[in-house]
Amino acid sequence: MLLKKLAWASVLMISGFLLAAQLVPARRTNPPSHGALSAPPEVAVALKRACYDCHSNETHWPWYSGIAPFSWFIIHHVTLGRKEVNFSEWGSYYPATQHRKLEWIGRALHEEKMPPWSYRLMHPGARLSKADRVVLEYWIDSALAISPAKRS
């Protein structure tokens, strides 16, 4: 009987916490773009489908991104993604920064770390096919080859 009361008390406390958490508004933003990436159409399509929700100022915020605790996770993920690489700010990066970010993107693609499994789980259309990866890797290799910041 005591166990049953403790279980109900726990359920009520957790429910109360989750309800109270809804009172704190989620800060979902899409700031204006400055110097967006210019890429060939097939590259742009793959990037927009698989990367832009976390790595641009063009995030499509799904309905559940306004519900705590999901909102905390999603907003944190997008904030970190934009800090790492933001295609909406690409033109404002120094050439050396673009070079480093292209190398990072290439590694993430090669190791199949992007997009992350947690994102693909809820967005199956964001999966990169082998053809998508080849197109993106070719674009990255080409951009690195002509980069003014190319290392000798």
Summarize pLDDT for 111-126 with one digit per residue, the tens.
Answer: 999 999 989 998 999 9
Residues 6+ apart with CB under 8 A from 86: 55, 56, 57
Report CA dihedral (100, 106, 108, 112) to the nearest 10 degrees. Answer: 180
Q: Are 130 and 75 in contact (CB under 8 A)?
A: no
152 assigned to some structural domain: no
Summarize pLDDT for 91-118 with one digit per residue, the tens.
Answer: 999 999 999 999 999 999 999 999 999 8
* pTM confidence score: 0.82
What proportion of the chain, given as a percentage, has pLDDT over 70?
A: 88
Range of the domain at 111: 2-146
Number of structural domains found in the chain: 1
Amino acid found at 145: A
Average pLDDT along the chain, 152 residues, taken 10 residues at a time: 76 64 70 89 96 96 90 92 96 95 96 92 92 96 84 51
